[in-house]
Chains A and B, each alone.
Chain A
Amino acid sequence: MSTHVLGPAEAIPEGEGRAFVVGGEQVAVFRLRGGALRAVQAQCPHRGGPLADGLVDAEVVVCPLHGYAYELADGCARSGAGALLVYDVEADPAGQLVVRLPGRRVEEVGGAAQARLEDAFAEPVA
Chain B
Amino acid sequence: MTMTLTAPEPTRPDTRSRLVVIGNGMAGARAVEEVLARGGGDLFAVEVFGEEPYGNYNRILLSEVLAGNAATEEIYLNPVEWYAEHGVTFHCGVRVVRVDRFAKLVYGNDGSIVRYDKLVIATGSRSFFPPLEGMWQDLKTLTPGVFGFRGLDDTAEMMRHAPDHDVAVVIGGGLLGLEAARGLQNYGMTTHVVHAAPTLMNQQLDAQAGRILQRSVEKLGITVHCNVRTTAVLGEEKVTGVRFGDGSALDCDMVVMTAGIRPNVELARRAGLTVERAIVVDDQLRSVDDDDVYVVGECAQHRGQVYGLVAPLWEQAGVLADHLTGVNPRASYHGSRVATKLKVAGVDVAAMGLKEPEHEDDEFVQFSEPRRGVYKTVIVRGGKLVGATLLGDVSKVAFLTQAFDRGLPLPEERIKLLFDIGGPSPEVGAAELADDAQVCNCNGVTKGQLVACVRGGEHTVSGVMNATRAGKGCGSCKSLVKDVCEWAAGGAVEQDPSERWYVPGVPLEKAELMAAIRERELKSVSAVFAALAPEGKEDAGSKMALASLLRTMWNDEYVDERDARFVNDRVHANIQRDGTFSVVPQMKGGVTTPEQLRTIADVADKYAVPLVKVTGGQRIDLLGVRKEDLPKVWADLGMPSGYAYGKSFRTVKTCVGSDFCRFGVGDSTALGIAIEDRYKGLDSPAKMKLAVAGCPRNCSEALVKDVGAVAVEGGRWEVYVGGAAGAHVRKGDLLATVDTPEEVVTLTGRFMQYYRENADWLERTYSFVPRVGIEHLRAVIVDDSEGIAADLDRRMQESVDAYKDPWLEAGQPATPGQFRTSLPLVELPQVPVRPAP
Chain A positions near chain B (C-beta within 8 angstroms): 10-21, 26, 28, 33, 42-43, 47-58, 60-62, 64-65, 69, 78-80, 107, 109-114, 116-118
Selected from B76, B539, B826, the residue in CB contact (under 8 A) with A57 is B539
Bound-state Cα–Cα, A46 to B257, Å:
27
Interface string of B61-91 (1 = CB under 8 A from A): 0000000000111001001110000000000
For residue A58, which residues in chain B have a CB less than 8 angstroms away from its CB? 537-538
B290 to chain A minimum Cβ distance, whole angstroms, is: 33
- Output the nearest chain A residue to B821 by Cβ-Cβ distance: A19
Whether the pair B540, A61 counts as a contact (CB closer than 8 A) is yes
Binds A, one of B434-442, B575-583, B689-697: B575-583
For residue A11, which residues in chain B have a CB less than 8 angstroms away from its CB? 816-817
Whether the pair A56, B562 counts as a contact (CB closer than 8 A) is no
Whether the pair A50, B541 counts as a contact (CB closer than 8 A) is no
Interface string of B337-359 (1 = CB under 8 A from A): 00000000000000000000000
Selected from A16, A78, A80, A110, the residue in CB contact (under 8 A) with B562 is A16
Residue B567 at the A interface, CB < 8 A? yes
For residue B817, which residues in chain A have a CB less than 8 angstroms away from its CB? 11-13, 18
Q: Check A107/B1 contact, CB under 8 A, given A20-B824, A117-B80.
A: yes
For residue A61, which residues in chain B have a CB less than 8 angstroms away from its CB? 540
Instruction: Bin the interface of chain B by size.
Output: 35 or more
Bound-state Cα–Cα, A19 to B575, Å:
16
Whether the pair B823, A26 counts as a contact (CB closer than 8 A) is yes
Whether the pair A109, B54 counts as a contact (CB closer than 8 A) is yes
Bound-state Cα–Cα, A51 to B469, Å:
36
- Output the nearest chain B residue to A47 by Cβ-Cβ distance: B577
Interface string of B91-107 (1 = CB under 8 A from A): 01100000000000000
A6 to chain B minimum Cβ distance, whole angstroms, is: 12
Q: Check A117/B81 contact, CB under 8 A, given A65-B575, A79-B72.
A: yes
Whether the pair B824, A69 counts as a contact (CB closer than 8 A) is no
A17 to chain B minimum Cβ distance, whole angstroms, is: 8
Selected from B563, B567, B815, the residue in CB contact (under 8 A) with A64 is B567
For residue A19, which residues in chain B have a CB less than 8 angstroms away from its CB? 820-824
Whether the pair B824, A111 counts as a contact (CB closer than 8 A) is no
Whether the pair B53, A112 counts as a contact (CB closer than 8 A) is no
Bound-state Cα–Cα, A42 to B823, Å:
7
B560 to chain A minimum Cβ distance, whole angstroms, is: 12
Selected from A60, A109, A112, the residue in CB contact (under 8 A) with B540 is A60
Q: Check A10/B80 contact, CB under 8 A, given A15-B563, A19-B823, A50-B822.
A: no
- Output the nearest chain B residue to A114 by Cβ-Cβ distance: B80
Residue B561 at the A interface, CB < 8 A? yes
- Output the nearest chain B residue to A11 by Cβ-Cβ distance: B816
Can you list 26 A-B pairs with a CB-CB distance of less than 8 A? A14-B563, A21-B825, A26-B825, A33-B538, A43-B823, A48-B578, A48-B826, A49-B579, A50-B821, A50-B822, A53-B579, A55-B541, A55-B563, A55-B567, A64-B566, A64-B568, A65-B577, A78-B73, A80-B71, A80-B73, A107-B1, A109-B93, A110-B92, A112-B73, A114-B53, A114-B80
- Output the nearest chain A residue to B81 by Cβ-Cβ distance: A116
Selected from A26, A33, A112, A114, the residue in CB contact (under 8 A) with B824 is A26
For residue B72, which residues in chain A have a CB less than 8 angstroms away from its CB? 79-80, 111
Bound-state Cα–Cα, A110 to B3, Å:
11
Whether the pair A56, B822 counts as a contact (CB closer than 8 A) is no
Selected from A16, A52, A113, the residue in CB contact (under 8 A) with B79 is A113
Whether the pair A55, B80 counts as a contact (CB closer than 8 A) is no
Residue B544 at the A interface, CB < 8 A? yes
- Output the nearest chain A residue to B543 by Cβ-Cβ distance: A55
For residue A112, which residues in chain B have a CB less than 8 angstroms away from its CB? 73
For residue B3, which residues in chain A have a CB less than 8 angstroms away from its CB? 114, 117-118
- Output the nearest chain B residue to A21 by Cβ-Cβ distance: B824
Whether the pair B575, A56 counts as a contact (CB closer than 8 A) is no
Residue B444 at the A interface, CB < 8 A? no
5 tightest A-B contacts by CB? A15-B563, A50-B822, A113-B79, A52-B822, A80-B72
